[in-house]
Structure 1
């Protein structure tokens, strides 16, 4: 069992959240009971995940996508009211970590994705959230590997017989970061989402592009962080996946 503020301080320091200018607050977003023993994690703090955390009698919910995003309406109405009300009524702490959980070199989404795909020499590209590494696969085999890991069919731009050696990736909605992959002459860029302009950009620059799912590419970091916390503080812990086709 651990105090909620003590746990927040540890995670904040472990993920170095002060280094990030994020789109939302990182850390304890909703305060619940002071002592935490039972932790549930998931990708996004939607109503279904919250209800399952309640059913599991969780003391804390640990997510990648929490609340209070820049530019969103600040009033607590509709689904935001319902979600926060459920957490408060059940005294559940909500911890949310966005960009720091993408970037972390041990439990981050990007390094965890690299480990799942057996990418060699995974390394961040400068100060960006994009990573680079090496594989030796055709685009078809790489696509099938990604689809088997994420349990969903990936959308692919490029010649499937192309040999992929140098690879770049960034989990989530990072399709515009393809520019970094192009600059480093990568053979393929992997991310979660795709926009209308991306197929032309990929084709005209001779780079393959794989859209593997925003949710699907960001399952890994929050699980790794939850497992780390459970081991360090002897907490009861489980990950709950709420399926999302995007």
Structure 2
């Protein structure tokens, strides 16, 4: 069973998400929160596998809540799946940098939502390549406080895998492109995240753009 915490400040949206998830096999809704602060508290109490996180909430935003939830996790942290109304939203970019595993538009259909929860719960990042590329290209060139990651520690193969990951390719697509196994792709990505001190595949994608490894406007080609 995939344990899910639903976070949204709008009652009707939250109730609809909870109802849909509870009707689906293999999903256990362990809580619902109407604010970022409540989400942080419930995440600590219920230890969900996946958090469906709204971004624009009064008080503590979904970005801050994501950071706190991941920082306070005892053991394996939950996967945070960001819910947003807009596919070009600076808050979503901030959430990805904070460690969210991906994002989903609120106008996605029920099947897409359930597939997203299953994918994120299984440890995959959720990216719609066309939307993700526009999002990262729009905001990756923002000035950030910290220096970008140093990619010199990566092997040439790890760099190749990171480039393709930043283009929105799945592990299977990367494996096919590089003529390696999916297990090897995962190994390269895990080593990359360890070397760069990253917590998620989403952060790896952002780093690829921030460092210039993938050039905005080219899709990494």
Q: What TM-score, normalized to structure 2?
A: 0.28
Larger relative helix fraction: 2
RCO higher in structure (CA 8 A, sep ≥6): 1
Q: What TM-score, normalized to structure 1?
A: 0.26
Bigger Rg over Cα: 1
Larger relative strand fraction: 1
